[in-house]
Amino acid sequence: MAVRHEVENLIRRGNIFYWRARVPAAFIHCRPGSRLSLSLHCSDHRKAQIIGRKLNTRLAELKMNSKDIMTTKQQLQSLFEHERDKELERLDDISTMAKRNGRGGDVVEMELDLEVGWACQLLAKFGTRVKLSLEDGCAGLVYLMKNGVPISHVDAIRANYRGELTTARSAGFEDGIRRLIYHFEIDDTATNRERATSKMFEGRAAALLDIDERHDLVDKSQSEFTGSGRAVSPVPATQAAENTASDPGPPASFHERPLPTALIAIPEETEITQLDLTPRAAVTKKSASKASEAEQRVVAVSDFEQECEKLIANMGDEWEPATGRDAMALVRMFKSVLIEHGVEHSGQIEQFHIGQLRQHFNHIPTNWGRSSRMRIMSASELRDEGAKLRLAAEASGTEPKVGLASTTIRKHFGNLQHFLKHLKGHGFEIEEWTFEGLRPRKPKAGEVRGKQFKPSPADIAPIFSSPLYVGSHGHLRGKRRQPGKQVFHDSLYFLPILYTYLGPRRKEFAGLHVNDIAKDGDSYVIILRANSIRGLKNEQSNRLLPVPEELVRLGFIDYVQAIKQLGYEALFPDLFSDKTDNDPGDRFYDTFVPIMQGALGEKMWKRAIHALRHGVADTLKQAGVPTEVIDDISGRLSEGSETNTRYTNPAGLPLMRSALKHYPVITSGVERQPLHLLPWIENKQPPPWAREGKK
């Protein structure tokens, strides 16, 4: 729920502040009552107040001086002149070097400028969204012919045009346009970016086509561009613009063609098209209804994260917190791609943009989500980071860690489908979409079986000869890997044994509550259920599991009682930080995998801890245990049998104990040691590894 603060228009959702202001009535193109919404990406209330006050001041200035801001003739003229003058300086340098090298009067140098100039002129006139072929029937070719461009130079112009178009469509080009319009104080909208792009190419074209002074030594009669056969009657620039806007007619005859604009003096009072800087909310489209025309709603791209929060709330217990985080990460990534392509609201999303998201997946670092630095990068910045990794990998001869795995892409498309259905279900306009041809195919059952290594008991046994169990140098993370005389009882000691003998999911046991261990007659059980620390993946994850006898022998029950007496709720408090809401399973993974690597060496397998889950199932199956019982132990639901899914309950504790006896004892060499808790756990101190973060 949003919480208001003393600064006007400033609210807080969760731990993030938002600036949400009503659009002034002076902006007549906005719907009455519409609001601006902006995430400040800030959780510090003092910083948020400072930013909020600045935004309120800026909004007041816009309201008071809106008419002045909408007048952009000077801004656009300045942008045009800036690009023209910058290009002229560059061309003057090239011309000077050409004269130094003896090519000052070379007609080829002049024609090269004209060819590039006409390529830029095409981009200025036709924009960067369309690709001109410059062949028969192409409007771009008709435009060149009308302006007296020789047909013999069209191939060279086409090559230059394609090169400039590729640059204009590159990831970094739009960032440059954004910086340019920011420099000239022009509002950053998709329309204004397009117009600024056109003016930028128009400025470059004007410089390139202005050849009189730069190529004064060239005999212009030698060039088809400027030979005597060209028409000499000047054509006003406004007339040329009108010609391009009209339907292209047949090209004029050779003697009737007008003089190229490069040879026309541009009048000082040329009319400049004004950028439309009228503040507007997301455009609302209208869809026809049988009874009447009903207004269709759209949601601004800037509000996508808020809509995703609503989706996560709607899913409730159906989604784990990790699933919600994955969905939010996908929405932020999709939002960045849409912004990159000038999409402002849901009504503008096309199938093309979903395809661009798919291509985006191929060019970003594989592990981008693990880096807090990369998680806040824009789409183009992420792809640039991927390009750097590719170059580094090529230099070192290694495989670049770029591009998401097919399973990850399938997961992202699943979350995207949920999100788009959420928007559509709430009445927001969304074009029909499909993932056909984009979503990687689901691996066949035979392929899946061979992808995960299934360690045998012999493969796992070396872990229990590591310093964790025979004695380490100290209790800190690095010293636990060094041989010594101290054995500590914590998650690193007990969880590997639990994972080896029972094969649970990583977070199921890492997030156990002290009350999840109970006595059943003469034995002990683990009650897997949702608790105050973590939830469970699905309904069949709720189950009872017997505590392995080896774990009892090694002092597990004494450990449970000690942790409970100290007042902890978590059975393994060493996995939790007092400063962040961290995932205990991830914390265990980060600390235990290096120890596994040291114990197994070259025999270390991929997906190290999850493989233990597969190893238990495979070992029991090879010993003849029915797969239905193995699934009940693992918290899965066997399909294909009505008896197993509908007519029977999960395997009971006696049957599970009988089945688990088929897994050999591989910890018999571990000697029981007196209970020795970590010092900071025993003294109830904050963990030494904890660091500041968003709670």
Binned at pLDDT 50, 70 and 90, residue 501 comes out as very high
Q: Are residues 140 and 65 in the same domain?
A: no
Q: What angle do CA 314, 317, 321 make, to 5 degrees?
A: 90
**Among 695, 565, 563, which Cα is nearest to 574's?**
563
Q: Which of residues 148 and 251 earns the better pLDDT score?
A: 148
The answer, yes or no, to whether residue 47 has pLDDT greater than 90, is no
Predicted confidence (pLDDT) at residue 495 exceeds the cutoff of 80:
yes
Does residue 2 lie within any of the structural domains?
A: no
Residues 489 and 617 in one domain: yes
Q: Are 284 and 295 in contact (CB under 8 A)?
A: yes
d(CA 530, CA 536): 6
Q: Which H, E and C letters describe 98-145, residue by residue?
A: HHHCCCCCCHHHHHHHHHHHHHHHHHHHHCCCCCCCCCCCCHHHHHHH
Tell me the HSE value of 233 on the side-chain side, using a 13 A CA sphere. 4
The answer to the question of residue 431 being in a domain is no
Supply the pLDDT for residue 286: 40
Task: Look at residue 595 and tell me if it is in a domain.
Answer: yes
Together in a domain, 90 and 118: no
Residue 1 within any structural domain of the chain: no
Q: Band of the pLDDT at 237, cuts 50, 70, 90?
A: very low
Tell me which of 426, 448, 479 is where a domain ends: 426
> Looking at residues 5-32, what average pLDDT do you find?
74
Domain boundary among 75, 99, 123: 99
Considering the chain, what percentage of its residues have pLDDT values greater than 70?
A: 82
74 band by pLDDT with thresholds 50, 70 and 90:
low
The range of the structural domain enclosing residue 41 comes to 10-99
Q: Are residues 596 and 554 in the same domain?
A: yes
| pTM of structure | 0.52
Please, which pLDDT band fits residue 267 given cuts at 50, 70 and 90? very low
Q: Does residue 120 sit in the same domain as residue 90?
A: no
Q: What is the CATH number of the domain that holds 598?
A: 1.10.443
- pLDDT tens digits for range 356-384: 999 999 999 988 877 767 877 888 888 98
Is 266 inside a domain boundary?
no
Does residue 436 form part of some domain?
A: no
- Cross-sheet strand order for the sheet of 517-520: 517-520, 523-528, 543-546
From the centroid of its chain, how far is CA 588? Answer: 27
Same domain, yes or no: 489 and 513: yes
| 8 pLDDT higher than 80 | yes
Q: Provide the pLDDT for residue 445.
A: 65
Beta bridge partners of 545: 526
Which of 368, 322, 682, 690 is CA-nearest to residue 511?
322
578 compared with 406, residue with greater pLDDT: 406
Domain shared by 518 and 663, yes or no: yes
**pLDDT score at 563:** 94
* pLDDT number for residue 554: 94
Q: Choose the final residue of a domain: 159, 192, 219.
A: 219
Better pLDDT: 517 or 319 = 517
Among 468, 693, 690, smallest CA distance to 596 is for 468
Q: What is the pLDDT of residue 639?
A: 65
pLDDT average, residue stretch 403-425: 89
DSSP 22: E
Between CA 469 and CA 474, with CA 472 as vertex, the angle to 5 degrees is 135
Quickly tell me which residue has 């809106």 as its tokens: 66
Residue 337: pLDDT over 70: yes
Question: Among the listed ranges 75-79, 267-271, 614-618, which one has the minimum average pLDDT value?
Answer: 267-271
pLDDT at 26: 59
Instruction: State residue 296's pLDDT score.
Output: 60
* DSSP designation for 402: B
pLDDT (tens digit, 9 = 90+) per residue, 147-169? 888 888 888 888 888 888 888 88
Distance CA 90, CA 305 (A): 44
Q: What is the pLDDT of residue 674?
A: 93
pLDDT band at 125 (very low <50, low <70, confident <90, very high): confident
Q: How far apart are CA 636 and CA 630, in angstroms?
A: 8
Taking the C-alpha atoms of residue 591 and residue 657, their distance in angstroms, rounded to an integer, is 30
- pLDDT tens readout for residues 442-490: 777 666 677 778 899 999 999 999 999 999 988 887 888 889 999 999 9
* Residue in the structure block whose two tokens are 């801004």: 75
Contact 365, 342 (CB under 8 A): no
Q: How many domains does the chain have?
A: 4
Note the pLDDT tens digit of each residue in 85-98. Answer: 777 777 777 777 76
Q: Which stretch of 12-26, 248-262, 644-658 has the lowest confidence by average pLDDT?
A: 248-262
Q: How many residues does the chain have?
A: 695
Backbone angles phi, psi at 486, to 5 degrees: -105, 130
**pLDDT of 295 strictly over 60:** no
Closest CA to 305 of 559, 16, 93, 635: 16
Residues 6+ apart with CB under 8 A from 245: none
Among 115-119, 175-179, 394-398, where is mean pLDDT lowest? 175-179
For residue 229, the model assigns a pLDDT of: 39
Residue 232 lies in a domain: no
C-beta of residue 431 within 8 angstroms of C-beta of residue 350: yes
**Residue 385 shares a structural domain with residue 474:** no
For residues 371 and 413, the answer to whether their CB atoms sit within 8 Å is: no
Q: What is the mean pLDDT of residues 102-114?
A: 80
Residues 550 and 636 in one domain: yes
pLDDT for 293 equals 36
Q: Identify whether residues 91 and 144 lie together within a single domain.
A: no
Domain check: are 461 and 543 in the same one?
Answer: yes
According to the model, what pLDDT value does residue 288 have?
Answer: 38
- Mean of pLDDT over the chain: 79
Which two three-digit tokens encode residue 166? 């590729």
Q: What per-residue string of b and e applies to 24-50 under the rule 16 or more CB within 10 Å gives b?
A: beebeebeeebebbbebebeeeeebbe
Residue 540: how many CB atoms within 10 A of its CB? 16
241: pLDDT strictly greater than 60? no
Task: Indicate the pLDDT class of residue 30, thresholds 50, 70 and 90.
Answer: low
In a shared domain, residues 483 and 629? yes
* Structural domain contains residue 171: yes
CB-based burial, 414-430: b 16+ in 10 Å, e otherwise: bbbebbbebbeeeebbb
- The DSSP result for 520-540, as a single string, is ETTEEEEEE---SS---SSGG
